[in-house]
Structure 1
Amino acid sequence: MGKSVKIKDLLKPALFHQISGDESALEREVFVPEMNRPGFELAGFFKHTDFRRIILFGEKEISFVKEMSKESQLACFSKLANDETPCIIIAKGYSCPEILKNIAIKRNFPIFETTQATGRVSIDLTGTLDEALAAETLMHGVFLNIYGKGVVIRGDSGIGKSEIALELIKRGHFLIADDAIELYHIGQGIVGRAPEVLRNLLEIRGIGVIDVSKMFGVASVLPKDHVDLIIQLERWLPSREYTRIGMEEDDVMEEILGIQIPKIVVPVTGGRSMSAIIEAAVMNMQLKDSGFDSSKEFVNRILDNIKSKSS
């Protein structure tokens, strides 16, 4: 069985008024993040209904119910209020149809009413469930926000990831996670954060663990961010060819939970300011995102120079 969220942990009493079902009914679990607006079901079409979804009634559904006969309501609501459906929510201040309420009371099925707009309920609950039920994995490295981009810095143990992160924090960038990064597939991207026990902490060899939020202020840390770039630090090998112009190979990508993330390999050697190099890599990425590629511009200049000399 996959991840789930219990109804009692999802719907807060301040926003959702429970009109049926006791405490045990709130133990029902939600396994999928999507909402079900039951238009087809009210019309009698149940062929592809996924009963694992929360059912949400808005103005259109309530208006349709008023046009239904009592027999049709009884047949439809008996199918909707089943053991697999987590709950039903009636939005926009409307009252629950009496037939549905009676069925729910007999079956100890949870129904909630709320004054919130239907669209707002759908957006808020879908976002909450999408994050809570997201596929996840754990990655070793340091995660920072640099110039507005979520950057994961990876490399062998002892290569200096945390020390580079410390320098970047001193330059005004933000720490999200050190050593272990929890990664979640949310929406169309990957979101990373620190495990609770490591939040705001940075380990520096020779010093120990420091609390970045205490040392540099609460504005120096972020709770989470989207992963936009992976920078892989490697020890410099004279025998290996590294990117110099930027046109030597196609863009390198790394797949995380089914999402392709841009990746840059940066060699580490004495005398190189790694924090400045990483800043430059992020700024160059931002330029590419805006449509300007410095490597292509350099190649074009060379070609133009050759043409001018040959003419």
Structure 2
Amino acid sequence: MKDIKVLHREKLSVRDFFFRYGKDLQLAVHTPEEDMESNIAEGGIHRPGLAMAGYTKVYSSQQIQVVGHTEWNYLESLGHEGRQKVFDALSVFKAPMWVVTHAQMPHPELKEMCTRLHIPLFSTTLHTYEFNKVAQRILEEFFAPHAIIHGSLVDVYGVGMLFVGDSNVGKSECVLDLVESGHRMVADDVVHISHVGNIIIGRPDPLIRHHMEIRGVGILDIRSMFGIHAIRKVKKIEVIVELQQWSRDVSYDRTGLNESEEVVMGVPIPKVVIPVAPGKNLTVISEVIAMNSLMKLNGQNVAAEFNESLMQKIKAKAKGEYSDDLLDMNPQQWDPYE
């Protein structure tokens, strides 16, 4: 995974933004449809209150401009002439689109400026906070660095486990067995990952979706075979499991004390290397890895605790203070039939 080619999206057309997410954002159009040819080039939402008041030195004009309840009432208080001066001054900045929230109608002066400059103008019934929250998430994911990797992603007990390894090592078979055991597949063979915030998100390829290839069997539709509960559309990657063909010449971790991680697009993710050998139950091992990860998230590190207990016993024995735990057992509490 060291040779990941990180990709970046440079622009999102307002037309695509509207037709993909307009329903979710409850957008209504107030300018001609042909004006939607502008592009959103920055993943941010801007409230132009200071710019309306005349301070445009740090005006983020390349972002989506949102007129919330405060800005709308400020414009309302200015009257026609005041609003005309505001939008005459803002005409030198061509924003990708304007949105008026709270189901408020855009002022005629704003609509005139947008029509004249061919800037898309929308209104929404959502409150400003609600609109900003949803729109910001959409833009954040769209402009996030992304890549395509070879692997399989599955949700095991709520833990996103990315299986990687050489071709034909058994990744798909392991994921299929996990799905049959009640866990949820996200993607097989091709995983689209993106760096959102400080986490790595994985999702299936749009063409392959929730299909899987099993050598000797063919293409399987996991959703049709196992039901809607057997799949997920997206999942945070929390553990990387590398499957390797077992070799006598390789030394594998046997205590869990030497925790390793892999940095994916700048984000460190815990990594476990599992040797694959005939008869090895990868499904149970995967479930144990997931449960162990959950225990660590809850502050319990079994390997570290066991090592600490062992070191205490060694120190006690060196001082002559060691006693066998078996002597601590009370025979009166034994019941041979339990």
Is the partner of 2:16 in helix, strand or coil?
helix
Query: Which of 199, 207, 224 in structure 2 is aligned with 1:214?
Result: 224
Across the aligned residues of Structure 1 and Structure 2, the Cα RMSD in angstroms comes to: 2.1
What's 1:106 paired with? 116
> Is contact 1:136–1:184 with CA below 8 Å preserved after alignment?
yes
1:151-178 deviations in whole A, cap 9, x for unaligned? 1100111111111111111111111111
1:263-311 deviations in whole A, cap 9, x for unaligned? 1111112232111111111111111110000111111211222243323
Residues 1:8 and 2:15 aligned together? yes
Cα 1:210–1:2 change in 2 (3 A) is closer
CA distance in 2, matches of 1:82, 1:149: 50
1:24-51 deviations in whole A, cap 9, x for unaligned? 2111111222100112212222222222
What's 1:63 paired with? 73
CA distance in 2, matches of 1:169, 1:297: 32
Residues 1:291 and 2:291 aligned together? no
1:75, CA displacement in angstroms?
Answer: 4.3
What's 2:335 paired with? none
Cα 1:289–1:93 change in 2 (3 A) is same
- Could you tell me which runs of 5 or more consecutive residues in structure 1 were left unpaired when the two chains were aligned: none
1:225-245 deviations in whole A, cap 9, x for unaligned? 111111111122222221111
> Is contact 1:81–1:109 with CA below 8 Å preserved after alignment?
no
Query: Which of 59, 74, 86 in structure 1 is aligned with 2:96?
Result: 86
Query: Which of 262, 268, 271 in structure 2 is aligned with 1:254?
Result: 262
Cα 1:2–1:142 change in 2 (3 A) is closer
- Could you tell me which runs of 5 or more consecutive residues in structure 2 were left unpaired when the two chains were aligned: 1-7, 322-338
1:5, CA displacement in angstroms?
Answer: 2.2
CA distance in 2, matches of 1:119, 1:195: 32
CA distance in 1, matches of 2:224, 2:110: 54
Residues 1:183 and 2:190 aligned together? no
1:72-108 deviations in whole A, cap 9, x for unaligned? 5444323545564111111112232332222223223
Larger Rg: 2
> Is contact 1:151–1:229 with CA below 8 Å preserved after alignment?
yes
> Is contact 1:193–1:223 with CA below 8 Å preserved after alignment?
yes
Counterpart code for 1:18? V
> Is contact 2:38–2:119 with CA below 8 Å preserved after alignment?
no
1:97-122 deviations in whole A, cap 9, x for unaligned? 33222222322322222222111111
Cα 1:147–1:38 change in 2 (3 A) is same
What's 2:41 paired with? 31
Residues 1:203 and 2:213 aligned together? yes
Is the partner of 1:3 in helix, strand or coil?
coil
Q: Give TM-score scaled by structure 1 length.
A: 0.91
Residues 1:270 and 2:281 aligned together? no
> Is contact 2:94–2:117 with CA below 8 Å preserved after alignment?
no
CA distance in 1, matches of 2:156, 2:9: 34
Cα 1:2–1:160 change in 2 (3 A) is closer
Cα 1:220–1:49 change in 2 (3 A) is same
Counterpart code for 1:262? P
Q: Give TM-score scaled by structure 2 length.
A: 0.84
